[in-house]
Amino acid sequence: MEPADIQGDLTEVLLSEAEIQVRIAELCREIERDYQGRPLLLVGVLKGAVMVMADLSRELRRDVEIDWMAVSSYGAGTESSGVVRILKDLDTDLTDRHVLIVEDIVDSGLTLSWLRENLSSRGAASVEICALLRKPEAAKVDVDARYVGFEIPNHFVVGYGLDYAERYRNLRAVGILSPHVYS
């Protein structure tokens, strides 16, 4: 259910809270199986991945470590440029660690392909990606994300951590933002 004060801001609810939770549980069973017997470090990408990290990490029936990074793409507008700047780095040494990057969305793929390269170069034993959403039509580079929650059409989406001008992150669902909000 959308809060009353944002009614009309979404053209469509793409994923309900229940659908998201069911899919996250499925991904967790895969992750538990794949990382059995190996210590796991979850790396969340601020700020969009906060909700996915909160739900995914608590759904996992195993011990994990959690750390965070904040990155920003240079360049004007809403398009990712692929030139990435680290705003907040990890506190954890990645040497010989099994790292799972937790992200909200793979859009152009530029941010995640840069991030995977960057973390791999620090001596991690493995670096994989878990993204709640992926927009296949928007891909500029091929990002091999091992765990993807949902493939969605090429629209600007908000909710469940995803924002427009820092709003809508607290929605429990994911929806398509109505163009009247940003035009």
Task: Rule CB under 6 A: say whether 163 interacts with ligand XMP.
Answer: yes
Which three-class secondary structure state does DSSP give residue 84? strand
Helix (H), strand (E) at residue 56: helix 50-59
Task: Rule CB under 6 A: say whether 145 interacts with ligand XMP.
Answer: no
Exposed, middle or buried: residue 81 (CB in 10 Å: 0-12, 13-18, 19+)?
A: middle
Among 48, 109, 149, 159, binds Mg ion (CB under 5 A): 48
Task: Rule CB under 6 A: say whether 157 interacts with ligand XMP.
Answer: yes
Instruction: Report residue 174 as tokens.
Output: 């994911």
Task: Rule CB under 5 A: say whether 159 interacts with Mg ion.
Answer: no
Q: Which does 31 bind (CB under 5 to 8 A by kind): Mg ion, ligand XMP, none?
A: none
Residue among 93 and 137 whose Cβ is closer to ligand XMP: 137
**Annotated active-site residue in 107, 142, 144, 163:** 107
* 93 is an active site residue: no
- Which region, judged by CB under 6 A, interacts with ligand XMP, from 5-13, 22-30, 86-94, 151-159? 151-159
Q: Please, are residues 42 and 65 in contact by the beta-carbon 8 Å criterion?
A: yes
Q: Binding residues for ligand XMP, how many (CB under 6 A)?
A: 17
Residues 6 or more apart from 146 whose CB is under 8 A from it? 34, 128, 129, 130
Pairing of strands 126-134, 147-151: parallel
Binding to ligand XMP in span 41-100, by CB under 6 A: 48, 80
Q: Please, are residues 102 and 45 in contact by the beta-carbon 8 Å criterion?
A: yes
Residue 111: name the closest of 38, 119, 57 by CA: 119
- The site map against ligand XMP for 91-130 (x = CB under 6 A) is ------------xxxxxxxxxx------------------
Residue among 112 and 173 whose Cβ is closer to Mg ion: 112
Residue 102: name the closest of 148, 63, 62 by CA: 148
Instruction: Report residue 13 as tokens.
Output: 């609810």
Which residues contact ligand XMP by CB under 6 A?
48, 80, 103-112, 156-158, 162-163
Q: Which residues are catalytic?
A: 107
